[in-house]
Amino acid sequence: MRSSGILLHITSLPSPYGIGTLGRQAYEFVDFLKKAGQRYWQILPLGPTGFGDSPYQCYSAFAGNPLLIDLPSLVSAGLIERDDPDLTVMAERKFADNAQLFTFKKLILQKAYASFRRSGRKDALHEFDDFCEENASWLDDYALFMTLKTAHAQMMWTMWDEPYRLHDEKALREFSEAHSDEILSWKFMQYLFFDQYSRLKDYANRKGILIYGDMPIYVSADSSDIWAAPQMFMVDKDRHPVKVAGCPPDVFSPTGQLWGNPLYDWDKMTADGYKWWVERVRAASKLFDLTRIDHFRGFESFYAIPAENDTAEEGEWLPGPGKALFDRIKAELGGVELVAEDLGFLTPEVHQMLHECGYPGMNVTEFAFGGDDSGYLPHNYVRNSVVYIGTHDNDTAAGWYDSCDKAAKKRICNYLGIKRSSSPEKVTKHLIRMAMASPSDLCILQMQDILGLGTSARMNIPSTVGNGNWAWRMEKMPDKKTAKRLKKLTKTYFR
């Protein structure tokens, strides 16, 4: 069925506390989607972010980001005081400064935990205990991991004292006993996150809005996942990566992209029936109505770079699990709704695997105007696909067009049927119309493009840290005029 939606990460919502949250503004955005005739709200990964603030480099593949917890809800619940000085410090920040924000938010959330324990409400305490028990498979490791990180001044776990780094049972048991209350406070943050998120998702679903989530293929080197189960990754006996992930050099990146994520040991994952991946997809299917798997081509074969290298120029392609992994997922979980991020260097084998799996792939029109009859040009799209003008890793449509050379601008305007003197804002409107009119079953538009914003609103520049990455926020909710315009366009193209 033809449909459309908007890509806007939760952190980009307006908020008086420095970062978008699961609070009132999230509900207002759901209402906007409904008024605008949209069906999907696409968000980025929800995990707790580490260095660089990237939601694709999280401390856990299963945990939620405590920064997204709505604080006014905790005030209403009586867990924190309305005049708490740490709330004042966090207020009225324009951009998401995760490191500073978390310093204050952690203090506030720990106060909320203390209030929760003092409240003596048996029903809430039982609910918390049930949450901990139901999620123990990942929550116990995550809470202990985060407590150990605090004890080690936030150092990466590969730099911890050896007994903790190598998971010595006696040392971990003694540490857990000495820090039991702090460990519980980390679990409580997850309890709050999942409670607030589930309420928001239920509200969205009742309004007819589906949540379209995102799952990175790899996990962060500094994560509880690798610390707790190093046998599933390409690491040596001291737990240091042997080979890491990235992309080989191309015309866009002469030295390639060195992501640095430890790679999976697919032989061991295959031997145990891909249990870790099955549980990861199971968790995502509870969070999202539709899940995009990032870097899908890495399941067919992946680029492995020696961990000691400074660039991605030297590496080798190694075989991935292929369709067998997804056969197992389907056997265990049934028809989980997935989208394959099939961008980048693709081979006939990757195309064949995607065809056999049956998942929709992606089209990005910003990749389409190099001069040839590109597969990214809308007249070449197949129905079983998702069309984007650009994703979170691309410039906004206006910024992208503004940066194109004269030849590319000529091709773009000729294709759109508009004057070559058209402004970036006008080109953006025609690109939106073109995406909506395309054959792809699902059209996803970045909120920045709907608002006609330029490069300053870009979400991320791949393979860089800083540069304002992940910090963009919408200053206010889009108005009724924007909703009406988008709804009319959606109806015009039967989405």
Set out the domains of the chain in order of their start, with CATH numbers. 3-360+441-492 (3.20.20.80)
Q: What is the pLDDT of residue 43?
A: 98
- DSSP secondary structure letter of residue 44: -
Residue 103: CB atoms within 10 A of its CB come to 13
- Closest alpha carbon to 194 in 143, 149, 128: 128
Kindly name the residue from 294, 300, 395, 441 that is annotated as catalytic.
294
Q: What is the pLDDT of residue 93?
A: 55
Catalytic status, residue 356: no
Structure tokens given for 253:
């990146």
Kindly name the residue from 86, 300, 341, 449 that is annotated as catalytic.
341
- DSSP secondary structure letter of residue 457: G
Kindly name the residue from 265, 313, 393, 402 that is annotated as catalytic.
393
Catalytic status, residue 341: yes
Task: Confirm if 473 and 12 have CB atoms less than 8 A apart.
Answer: yes
pLDDT values of the chain reduced to their tens digit, one per residue, 495 residues: 899 999 999 999 998 888 999 999 999 999 999 999 999 999 999 999 988 899 999 999 999 999 999 999 999 999 998 888 777 766 655 545 677 788 888 999 999 999 998 887 778 889 999 999 999 999 999 999 999 999 999 999 999 999 999 999 999 999 999 999 999 999 999 999 999 999 999 999 999 999 999 999 999 999 999 999 999 999 999 999 999 999 998 877 889 889 999 999 999 999 999 999 999 999 999 999 999 999 999 999 999 999 999 999 999 999 999 999 999 999 999 989 999 999 877 899 999 999 999 999 999 999 999 989 989 999 999 999 999 999 999 999 999 999 999 999 999 999 999 999 999 999 999 999 999 999 999 999 999 999 999 999 999 998 788 778 999 999 999 999 999 999 999 999 999
**DSSP string across 146-161:** HHHHHHTTT--GGGS-
Q: How far apart are CA 201 and CA 451, in angstroms?
A: 25
Q: What is the pLDDT of residue 96?
A: 53
Catalytic status, residue 294: yes
